[in-house]
Structure 1
């Protein structure tokens, strides 16, 4: 089968190549999916350029892509929830990374039936970004009706879902974006949109119960400047906290280094009696099933910027890496 492979650390234009590889073998608790559509996420180009070497180096060549939608080709002998012919989607486990390929393996408990009202392209836009938003807002900060939340980068893959989910949960949503995306973010349901090219969210007098930091860098520490005492900050790009570091199974030396790097954030959180968590989402078919219901009810709608065919998949990742995508970038494997 054909698969887009990472051949070395670098950028998309120089470090990716379509190669012929064997159809993967699947185990007793796994399903083999014939890929119809897949989507890229920022983690894909960040891993490609070597941002996560401290957590383990890649043995090249290595597949790329974590989101998939397609049709079940075969099932393992212990699989009860799926059968050949089912339309499914999954954020596949790291062991099987490589959804930019004609066939993909998923653990059965990482997959779910696609939303009944969505296409394969639309369904492929959901898994990683949808699970990230769900786990951040529902599991980590437990966002409640009536609370005020600031969501950065509202026009991005995670932001477009997070805004809609936060509104579904009854929160008052403020989001940041650039001028050209203000209408999109308003249409998604944001109660207030801050055009960061004209205004700073730090000038806001409002204090937030929750800040969803999707940007990292200075935004992580600045989150506490607009947070209420006792509030919650969840980040997908900021400093790694001790709880998440342990979940990664990192050794004590690496955890000490990370703790030193995160010291300003953890001290600031402690002073404000606030919670800070770094979230690295976990695959979950059970949660994808819940998320599917939100799409089927119309509470959340997919936002897709561009769709590429498989032969243009490298250009798709190059486009996503510019940071200008509105919503998700899809690669159609089967025309």
Structure 2
């Protein structure tokens, strides 16, 4: 089978196409013919080697972690799926790449694809959907009437998290460029800060939850708008000691991550707020719930551009520019060939 693999760390230029054996399924796995694969910024970050302390890959490694496709084989202990089922899933941090013609994955990370979505739309969902769900529902336990700040509202995570926060009954503020103001309003944002014209910390006050999606000084600036008892949930770091303990890392790594996150934790405590780092995990049951909302049109996918499989590297390069409105998706099977 064809797959896009990372040969060695250092640059996205090290992505190459390779011919690999079709994966064999274990008893608890399903083999999926991949019809589409969603791209995520972390795909490019992994290539640089910046995630080596956290995500250990056996190079060369097949890239990608969002997929939608059709089950073509099931392991002997699989009970949730059968051959012919259309599914979508996140394989992030499992050592299973989505940018390949076939992928073998544990059945518990997959969910049935909503009939209302095509494969491209479904492939755009897993990473951003699960990240948003685990941040807002699982960790923040966001309640109706609360206020949440989700910067970069036109991006992949932002465009989905805004919708989910509104579905949960929250008031949502976001940042975006002038060209995307109308898009984020359509997604449900109540307060929209055009970052080219205004600083968000100058207008926003008394927020209950911040979902941090931007690096650098933006994270510390967000502390200026939170109220006592609020939560800052960072998707981009710095990782904290609690994360290192959960991953079973040794004392040295727990100490390093504690040191890296020490400043932001102290600053948050000064505001009587809490800071935590969120590292998304695959979860088929959560995808099932997200899928029901998608089927009922309470949530919708936002797809910026679609690249054919032969141009997957170009898709990753486009994503790296940071200008995508929603998700970038690679299509492996033409729509006319889909079941």
Give TM-score, length-normalised by structure 2: 0.96
How far apart in 2 are the matches of 1:145 and 1:288? Answer: 22
270-279 or 50-59, larger mean C-alpha shift: 50-59
Could you say which residue in structure 1 is the equivalent of 2:71?
A: 72
Conserved? CA contact 1:4–1:19, under 8 Å: yes
Partner SS state of residue 45, structure 2:
helix
265-274 or 191-200, larger mean C-alpha shift: 265-274
Q: Deviations over 1:54-75 (max 9, x none)?
A: 2255332111000000000000
How far apart in 1 are the matches of 2:122 and 2:57? Answer: 28
Conserved? CA contact 2:66–2:92, under 8 Å: no
Could you say which residue in structure 2 is the equivalent of 1:279?
A: 278
Q: Give the deviation of 1:8 after TM superposition.
A: 1.3
Could you say which residue in structure 1 is the equivalent of 2:296?
A: 297
How far apart in 1 are the matches of 2:204 and 2:151? Answer: 17
How far apart in 2 are the matches of 1:144 and 1:69? Answer: 31
Write out aligned runs for 1:1-335 (5 A): 1-12=1-12, 14-55=13-54, 57-335=56-334
Q: Give the deviation of 1:44 after TM superposition.
A: 0.5
Q: How many residues align?
A: 334
249-258 or 323-332, larger mean C-alpha shift: 249-258
How far apart in 2 are the matches of 1:54 and 1:79? Answer: 33
**RMSD of aligned alpha carbons:** 1.1
Conserved? CA contact 2:241–2:255, under 8 Å: no
Partner SS state of residue 215, structure 1:
coil
Conserved? CA contact 2:8–2:60, under 8 Å: yes
Q: Give the deviation of 1:219 after TM superposition.
A: 1.9
How far apart in 2 are the matches of 1:253 and 1:21? Answer: 37
How far apart in 2 are the matches of 1:41 and 1:56? Answer: 15
How far apart in 1 are the matches of 2:318 and 2:127? Answer: 18
Q: Deviations over 1:250-292 (max 9, x none)?
A: 2111111111111111112222221211100111000000000
Partner SS state of residue 193, structure 2:
strand
Q: Give the deviation of 1:94 after TM superposition.
A: 2.6
Distance 1:264 1:86, change over 3 A: same
Could you say which residue in structure 1 is the equivalent of 2:337?
A: none
Q: Give the deviation of 1:53 after TM superposition.
A: 2.0
Conserved? CA contact 1:40–1:65, under 8 Å: yes
Q: Deviations over 1:91-126 (max 9, x none)?
A: 015334211100011110000001120000000000
Partner SS state of residue 58, structure 2:
coil
Distance 1:95 1:148, change over 3 A: closer
124-133 or 221-230, larger mean C-alpha shift: 221-230
Conserved? CA contact 1:217–1:238, under 8 Å: no
Structure 1, unaligned runs of 5 or more: none
Q: Give the deviation of 1:177 after TM superposition.
A: 0.7
How far apart in 1 are the matches of 2:215 and 2:243? Answer: 16
Conserved? CA contact 1:216–1:235, under 8 Å: no
Q: Give the deviation of 1:216 after TM superposition.
A: 2.6
